[in-house]
Amino acid sequence: MAGKPPDETYISVVDEEPEFFALLKWDSAQTQKPQEPRSFERAKSPEKLCSLSCMPTSKDELDPFDLSDSTFIETYRLTKDLARSLCEELTPVMPESNKSVEFSIETKVLATLSFYATGKYQKSIGGKTDPSTTQYFVSTAVAQVTEAMNHTSIVKKYIHFPHLRAERDLIKSRFLFKYKIPNVVGCIDCMHVPIAKPDDDHKRHFNKSYHSKKAQIICDSELNIVSVDAAGGSLSHDAILNRHAVKNDLQSLNYARDVCWLVGGPHYTQMPYIMTPIPKVTKKSPISPEKHYTTLHSQTHAIVLETIKQLKSRWKCLQATCNKQFDPDTVAKIITACCILHNICNKRGLTVPQMTQAEERLELMKQKVANAPVSKKRVEDPKGVETRMSLIEILWQERSVSNESAPKKRNVKRDRVVEAPQQPVNQMHYLHEDPSKRARIMMNNPYHLGVGMAPTWGHYPQH
């Protein structure tokens, strides 16, 4: 585990909770190894690359595009046509290389996708490790491909906040249809990705237990990432949002009476452009307008948590056990590249690989430890509180109208009571007509008690 800072005011959250300590100790074997931060700009001697290129290759070396579709997706997370399309898009923006031996763009892209998917340098094809793929080649390929994917033209094509009214109205309608909250243009939260201990200003990236890169994620109702900001260090959720351009856009839209809201978690301060949960309202609270709002808010905000989970499930290089050898700037570029690939896969509807139970628990604990507790002295914006109260009243009125228009359950129960006496006659008549069913009744009723009564087991066929 990363070393504690020299501050005397340091308080360990892990020591207070045995479950935290057990899970983080499970990862200590990897974290305790002294690892030097690796940057994309570092290059090794060209002699190693020349000797690597001169390695003999087998005649029956497998071409990745000759793999079956399922194996290709499992290894690289993309389909073959998506991988080829990505190579064509990255070719014009790929940084120039001064190496004496150069590899094809397809080889670099596939090596990078494999690293993103596994978090490991050694590429595996069909469950077998490829000995011709070395760590130096993969690190060089990851450096060039990640730099190309962070090109402005690529980022704006796949990740963009809805600036047009038609785009915002479409997102609003989908949120309203699914989660019953109007004027929502996105859900917002932050995630942590571990990094190596920086040489300079390491306290800026230290969050109580380990060094990490804090990234802000905004998604729509379809789990598409519409905004990502991976430049934050140990800044709070509010500080990252306040310096982001999305905040200025939302303020301008609301000032122009085009009401747009984000749905944020408890770490955000209530503002006119972001809806947060109401403090001290829990699942055990009695039914009230505030409780109804909290329930809808929780269901809506869960979409960004699911987005982050799928992002880390598909690209394991973002998980807590990886990326400890990269510096903060490199990890920020990897996060943006993985968000682009997430949108590509999500729009195609590709299946998301599931985390193991250990991975999922470790991610939850790491996230909980990294996030600072919600401040009880936080002062909410009066205009934001007024906007939230207006929304609470609207949602409660809609709930009352929907309950009045819904059919009463009492009528359904009366219909069932009337139909109930008619069933035994048909069932018993059916039993006497079909002798094959008699043995079943005799077996369950060996003493012939209550022969004239209807059978009560649920799996018996109804007629």
pLDDT in tens, 372-405: 788 777 888 999 999 999 999 999 998 877 776 6
Rounded-to-integer distance, Cα 22 and Cα 362, Å: 10
Q: Give first-to-last CA distance, the chain, whole Å.
A: 66
Q: Are residues 168 and 109 in the same domain?
A: no
| Boundary (domain end) residue, out of 149, 167, 194 | 149
If one counts every other C-beta atom within 10 angstroms of the C-beta of residue 153, the result is: 9
Looking at residue 294, its pLDDT comes to 94
Q: Are residues 213 and 274 in the same domain?
A: yes
Is pLDDT of 298 > 80?
Answer: yes
Q: Are residues 55 and 193 in the same domain?
A: no
Q: Are residues 187 and 298 in the same domain?
A: yes
Q: What is the 3-state secondary structure (H, E, C) of 54-119?
A: CCCCCCCCCCHHHCCHHHHHHHHCCCHHHHHHHHHHHCCCCCCCCCCCCCCHHHHHHHHHHHHHHC
Q: Are residues 233 and 295 in the same domain?
A: yes
Beta strand ranges found along 256-368 (DSSP E): 261-263, 274-275
Q: Are residues 95 and 124 in the same domain?
A: yes
Q: Are residues 375 and 246 in the same domain?
A: yes
Residue 205 resides in a domain: yes
Rounded-to-integer distance, Cα 370 and Cα 181, Å: 30
Looking at residue 268, its pLDDT comes to 95
Is pLDDT of 337 > 70?
Answer: yes
Tens digit of each residue's pLDDT (9 = 90 or more) over 44-88: 444 343 333 333 344 345 688 999 999 999 999 999 999 999 999
Output the CA–CA distances (angstroms, integers) from residue 328 to 202, 204, 211, 214, in the order listed: 10, 11, 9, 10
Looking at residue 406, its pLDDT comes to 60
Q: Are residues 183 and 123 in the same domain?
A: no
Of 181, 180, 169, the C-alpha closest to 258 is 169
Is pLDDT of 448 > 70?
Answer: no
Number of domains in the chain: 3
Residue 282 resides in a domain: yes
| Boundary (domain end) residue, out of 111, 129, 149 | 149
The arithmetic mean of pLDDT across residues 18-36, rounded, is: 49
Residue 190 resides in a domain: yes
Q: Are residues 137 and 247 in the same domain?
A: no
Q: Are residues 113 and 199 in the same domain?
A: no
Residue 333 resides in a domain: no
Q: Are residues 142 and 87 in the same domain?
A: yes
Residue 310 resides in a domain: yes
Range of the domain at 179: 159-328+345-404
Looking at residue 138, its pLDDT comes to 86
Residue 462 resides in a domain: no
Q: Are residues 139 and 224 in the same domain?
A: no
